[in-house]
Structure 1
């Protein structure tokens, strides 16, 4: 792998700090679940910092990922 491609990849890899941040957000937001609005908005809020890091240079990919999370969690019981 070329050095240029490797440095691009390094900015997109989630580290332990990113995972812990998502976990802390999950514990804050889990109490907001209700059957009227579902859990999708809360889940997207939890994952947004990690998704932003993964799709740093691709705003269309970020939007597609967010849309995918809304569809998946709003269709599951």
Structure 2
């Protein structure tokens, strides 16, 4: 069965949901988990560029719109 997946993270939502908690859910390009400080710096940099969303899989998400449109959707095989 095929399904369409839309994978993105709302930057403002992450900051709201992790207020008072460590953000430890992001990895760098080598798979290393970013520290809370590093993750917040990346989020701040993206927001300074006007981004509202971040792709959950930037290498595979062609056509991603970080300014609000997000992921255009990708067909994925489901079991």
TM-score, structure 1 as length reference: 0.26
Higher helix share: 1
> Which of the two has higher C-alpha Rg?
1
Per chain length, whose mean CA-contact separation is higher, i.e. which structure has more relative contact order (CA < 8 Å, sep 6+)? Answer: 2
